[in-house]
Amino acid sequence: MTTMDPAAQVARNARHLADTGRRPTTAVLLGSGWNPLVERLADRLTLPYGELPGFPRVGVAGHAGALEFGRLGGTEVVLVAGREHTYEHGRADAMKVAVRTLAALGVRTLVLTNAAGSLDLAIRPGELMLLTDHLNLVQRSPLVGETGSSRFVDLADAYDPALRQAALRHAAQSGELLHQGVYAWMLGPQFETPAEIRMLQRLGAQAVGMSTVPETLLARHAGLRVLGLSLITNMGCGLEAEKLSHAHTLATAQASAARAAGFLAGLVPALEAA
């Protein structure tokens, strides 16, 4: 059996998704703790990743594996329920076909969500942080192997300023505390040491996690606007006495999930005009 190359997979997926009649211009990639947003969709249509060649094989607790089409406040949206992480196999391009399929379908705005650890004592577990920038400390890129001048992506505004302003306005209107800060990408899957946390603080980061940056690079390469949101699930190692584990991360995320999803459900329609 001949395996399709990524471009052929994207083309096939885009045709398949076009047949659904859905035409969202906004997509949301759901990280840990953000899955309750799916239940808020009206006129919901589910397409498992297994129907879409090149989409990720999701193998991490807290991540589903499907595209969820529907409406939030009258706005057509597609939720990308589950991501593949670089720490699972060492590749940074696992979400390449998924992101490019969204772009081929007509998506123009990608909201990236994640669960992250706080590096700032003023940003507490259960609270939300708007990404203003990132540190690619892993120094890996999903664009390695690309050709042409478009691979040299300008990241001056990796996280779109107009979308960020829309998020801040919505937070003020809804009464949601929304911090702002720089997100540091670490490979994982192990958590950081206290020395690494101190290093990240000195580098100017406010939160740390194991995802998001590869999808940001893919989205910007595809010409999509990006908004990033972190649900803070823990304090960085050594900042407080808590013992870190994936189970702890999921438990904290789930405790705040309904509120985070409610905030995002109201924000998505506001992004259409940003």
Residue 199 designated active-site: no
Q: What is the pLDDT of residue 204?
A: 98
Residue 89 designated active-site: no
Confidence bin at 59 (pLDDT 50/70/90): low
In angstroms, the CA 235 to CA 223 distance is 34
Residue 39 designated active-site: no
The first and second tokens of residue 29, run together, are 């990639």
Segment 143-159 shows an average pLDDT of 95
How do beta strands 225-235 and 128-136 pair? antiparallel
Q: Among the options 35, 114, 141, 211, which is catalytic?
A: 211
Q: Among the options 27, 81, 92, 115, which is catalytic?
A: 115
Contacts 24+ apart (CB under 8 A), 3-8: 4/53, 4/54, 6/54, 6/96, 6/97, 6/100
Residue 87 designated active-site: yes
The helices-and-strands tally (H runs, E runs) of the chain is 6, 9
Rounded to two decimals, the pTM is 0.94
Q: What is the pLDDT of residue 65?
A: 87
Q: Among the options 13, 141, 234, 256, which is catalytic?
A: 234
Segment 48-77 shows an average pLDDT of 85
Ordered by where they begin, the domains of the chain are: 6-271 (3.40.50.1580)
Q: Is 104 left (phi over 0), alpha (psi -120 to 50) or beta?
A: alpha
Residue 32 designated active-site: yes
Residue 85 designated active-site: yes
The first and second tokens of residue 222, run together, are 């595809």
Confidence bin at 40 (pLDDT 50/70/90): very high
Lowest mean pLDDT among 17-31, 51-65, 102-116, 236-250: 51-65
